[in-house]
Chains A and B, each alone.
Chain A
Amino acid sequence: QSALTQPASVSGSPGRSITISCTGTNSDVGGYNYVSWHQQHPGKAPKLMIYDVSNRPSGVSNRFSGSKSGNTASLTISGLQAEDEADYYCSSYTSSSTLVFGGGTKLTVL
């Protein structure tokens, strides 16, 4: 299985919004509503931010939202804050009953 495709980096100014894409195939992202997004700060364990495409776990800010269209899922962060600067990884359930991660996107808050 191939890793999901994410942009290597995105950037945005404080208070603005950014969107990170995650492209897969009909066998993963496009075939199931089981896309998750994890945030990872340097030297730290990942943190779940979005699950099942658009659901937020308890305690995650509503500035984080997820969506999906066809084989591409997206994570949008609105009202960017300095603390949002981190790496973001998407993941998806696959038709082989396995999981696959994206390559990760580094978010820089300018």
Chain B
Amino acid sequence: QVQLQESGPGLVKPSETLSLTCTVSGYSISSGYYWGWIRQPPGKGLEWIGSIYHRGSTYYNPSLKSRVTISVDTSKNQFSLKLSSVTAADTAVYYCARELGYCSSAGCYDRGTILGAFDIWGQGTMVTVSS
């Protein structure tokens, strides 16, 4: 089955760049689907950070767009998140996730755009911003 696993430093200094990677197993990213990053500050709700299509098209939360870069590396079957100029407000659990697709007798496919239905999630990784 498809599994996602986040990895990266658990501690980042203020003003530096947070970098996380999501490794996908059980499915080849180059085959399709939309992949997203979502975060959750301690005790607070979910916030969509952005999403990427396997061919590289990106979609970002307007409130974070100036600081976010999401990229995909199909050779490693991974996609990544970079968030620059971090502050304590960026302290959160960061999740990677895959958007729901659909399957027919011909195979399984994505739904053509981001729609917010994330059916497969990583376990999440806690990132603390502190000096």
Contact = CB atoms under 8 A, between A and B. Distances in A.
Nearest to A50: B117
A99 B45 contact: no
Interface in B102-131: 113-119, 121-124
Interface in A32-51: 34-36, 38, 40, 45-48, 51
The B interface, classified by DSSP as helix, strand, loop or mixed, is loop
B116 A92 contact: yes
Q: For the side of the interface on A, what is the size category?
A: 20 to 34
B118 A104 contact: no
Contacts, number: 78
B100 A51 contact: yes
B46 A89 contact: yes
Interface stretch (B11-19, B56-64, B73-81, B83-91): B56-64
Interface string A3-40: 10000000000000000000000000000001110101
B60 A102 contact: no
Interface of A: 1, 3, 34-36, 38, 40, 45-48, 51-52, 57, 87, 89, 91-93, 96-104
20 contacts: A34-B116, A35-B116, A45-B95, A45-B122, A46-B38, A48-B100, A52-B117, A87-B45, A91-B116, A93-B115, A97-B59, A97-B113, A98-B61, A98-B62, A98-B114, A99-B48, A99-B59, A101-B38, A102-B45, A104-B46
